[in-house]
Amino acid sequence: MKDINFSLVDGYMKSPHAPRFEHRKEFQIYVFGDLLGAISNDQLLKPDAAFDHIIMSVLAKQSVPLLMLKLVGSFYLIIGKETSWTIWCSTSSPGLCLYPEKSVVTFFSSEREAYECFGTTQNIDEDEIVGHVAAHHILMRTSFGTLFKGIHRLPAGGYAQWNNQDRQIRSYLFLADAFREQERLKSRNIEGLEFGQRLEGILKLTLDYYGRNNCKLYLSGGIDSAVILAAISAIGESVDCIHKLYNKRATRESQIAQKLSKYFNMDYFQEDVADVLPSQVSVEDARSTGEQGLGLNVTFEGLSANQNLNCSPKKEPIWQFPITGQNADTLYHVDTFAPPSRIYGLPRLKAILSTVEKRMYYSSIFLGSSFCRQFLLLCKGSINFSGRDFSLSRLVESIATPIVEHTLPFHSNTSKSHSRKFEDVFRTNRRRCISDIVYKEFARVDIAISDNAKATVAEKTFLIKLVRWCRTVFNVPISYHNSGQISGDVRLLPYQEGPMVSFLMARPIRAREIFFVKHLSSRYFRSVTGNSYRFFVRPDGYSLVRDIVQTARLLNGPRKEQFDLDQIETKVKRKELAKERFKEQIQVLGKMISDDDKVLKHCVQAQVNRNYIESLYARLTDSCAESINRSDVMELCRFVNMHNYMRKLFSEFNS
């Protein structure tokens, strides 16, 4: 989707774009963006038919939230009636930034445009700025907040209502409305091959809309992208498969991706990422990239990839449409904590069993009854609560407030890089902006969800996934939209399209899926290929029996202390090399900021936030620090990105 903006002026729609529209006496309908089609009653509707379906649904006064979960594409639906307007953001869209001012409400699909038009040095939200820097890049934003207090966010899966009489705009999540209506109608078909049918339909509409020759598949070798590849094959289509190599090093995943491509008879390409050293990075290009939007140069791997693909902001982008398997983990399993795809045989079985505890928090057996929780406590391990201490609110809060991405519920998940006081402030803000909002949405649609309420497993599951939606999922298309304005890549997220969201969001995780991770994905893959996904992971000639026999011999045979000195030396060298690379990256980051240009210090007033910002400026000059890790470098990348972004905005304000 290219940048889109439009306004409601005294209750009338104004826009420089030419959307799909329908004007009737009873209502007006506009669609901005890419409406790919719809899946309704097992039928695929092309864009024109999908738009007609919208009109007929509005005429029949059918549920718009349920309608939105039938539609496919990154778009905005605007419905105007005599006294009100409603703006709906599709589930895979980057959402909108909106600015209400007197009788005018202006909407932007681009953060940058909204901030440039209506941001000022007086309305900076310092908690959001600090949160964007501290939090992992995939959860940097909050669902309804922005960097400026007067500018509001409407996330993917949300809608806003404008009343012509009181001229107030109110924002909600239509995912909550849709879930409430689905529960009332009991319309969700949970099992069967519906998972595959929906995915196939989404991909068919995607390839028809964007053109088969313009689309490609980012094939990591993991189960999520492998299932997309199988679905593309199942509908009789073919696309180029792109596998990214980091530091020009082929991995086990590379072999799996190549094997999958060969089996499905699709062209396979490898794309080098980060094949330049930090010292070879153009500081000016890096600074210019960071000025274009947030989430662009999260790591030097991503920055180098942009440079190698000639994605300089100074050049006109060539639009391409890569399909990715992102967000399947969150929407299906919340967090899988599964071993990497490359692991097979007994080592995989061992890794699966050792991480059962991490997955059980989201399962129906854990959420279902206190008796089941007590039973699971028999294998307590590192579970950080007793059965009597369990509370749903505590579970939700522990999911909503971490700074890092993959964390265990009921654990402190603290960071060595941040003070306890700073983390307390951060968590308080995230609680207010995520979990509190989700609880309000449940109350708005009359679902009793609390420690004392007798909520169903489906309601608890949806509550957890809606928290993850507001914490993680909606962030992804925003960052992709920002980067797409530079690179020309419009990344497509089939797992985040309405029909898949409708299927996955409230689907409880069965007890068996604690052990058989992503059972639906694996079953669908087998139905298409006749082979298990593991068939492609295991090397040729692998025998499970031989694996078991060899393991048994090792366990029963005499134990000998063996030290591979060469292997130990190699590991030490790699660790030292990584540390030197991190130091070099920090030096380059430091060059992007001049000593007298510490703009972020002017954006924060609270002492705890000032201490945090000042510590990051100091860390940029401390390249000799010994305790440097990848997380530190990523945090500094976000910090420099924010610094350059705000510096650019300040220059726009002054001009």
Count of domains observed in the chain: 1
Query: Is 481 a domain residue?
Result: no
Residue 112 and residue 4 in contact, taking contact as beta carbons nearer than 8 Å: no
Contacts of 476 (CB under 8 A, 6+ apart): 138, 326, 327, 493, 496
pLDDT category at 190 given cuts 50, 70, 90 is very low
Place of tokens 């689907």: 507
Residue 75 and residue 87 in contact, taking contact as beta carbons nearer than 8 Å: no
Which of 649, 626, 521 shows the shortest CA–CA distance to 151? 649
User: How many DSSP H helices and E strands does the chain contain?
Assistant: 28, 16
Greater confidence (269 vs 49) lies with 49
**pLDDT tens string 549-572:** 666 665 565 554 454 565 666 666
**pLDDT tens string 37-48:** 999 888 899 999
pLDDT for 382: 46
Query: Is 424 a domain residue?
Result: yes
Query: Is 497 a domain residue?
Result: no
Residue 79 and residue 65 in contact, taking contact as beta carbons nearer than 8 Å: no
Burial 309-325 (b: 16+ CB within 10 A, else e): bebebeeebeebbbbbb
pLDDT category at 411 given cuts 50, 70, 90 is confident
Predicted confidence (pLDDT) at residue 322 exceeds the cutoff of 70 = yes
pLDDT for 314: 40
Mean pLDDT for the stretch of residues 371-384: 56
Q: pTM surpassing 0.85?
A: yes
Mean pLDDT for the stretch of residues 283-288: 73
Mean pLDDT for the stretch of residues 626-633: 77
Predicted confidence (pLDDT) at residue 496 exceeds the cutoff of 90 = yes
Query: Is 615 a domain residue?
Result: no
Residue 153 and residue 82 in contact, taking contact as beta carbons nearer than 8 Å: no
Predicted confidence (pLDDT) at residue 293 exceeds the cutoff of 70 = yes
Mean pLDDT for the stretch of residues 218-229: 93
Burial of 595 (0-12, 13-18, 19+ CB in 10 A): exposed
Please name the helix (run of DSSP H) or strand (run of DSSP E) that holds residue 209, with its range, or none. Answer: helix 194-210
**Tokens coding 469:** 């939606």
In this structure, of 373-387, 393-407, 483-497, 594-608, the range with the lowest mean pLDDT score is 373-387
Burial of 360 (0-12, 13-18, 19+ CB in 10 A): buried
Mean pLDDT for the stretch of residues 241-264: 84
Query: Is 604 a domain residue?
Result: no
Query: Is 28 a domain residue?
Result: no
Residue 147 and residue 120 in contact, taking contact as beta carbons nearer than 8 Å: no
In this structure, of 95-104, 490-499, 571-580, 601-610, the range with the lowest mean pLDDT score is 571-580
* 322 Cα distance to chain centroid: 16
Report the 3 state secondary structure along 59-119. Answer: HCCCCHHHHHCCEEEEEEEEEECCCEEEEEECCCCCCEEEEEECCEEEEECCHHHHHHHHC
pLDDT category at 310 given cuts 50, 70, 90 is very low
Greater confidence (121 vs 295) lies with 121
pLDDT for 275: 47
Query: Is 149 a domain residue?
Result: no
**pLDDT tens string 352-365:** 888 887 888 888 88
Query: Is 636 a domain residue?
Result: no
Domain residue limits at 378: 367-474
For the chain, give the mean pLDDT.
82
pLDDT category at 303 given cuts 50, 70, 90 is very low
**Tokens coding 318:** 């060539």
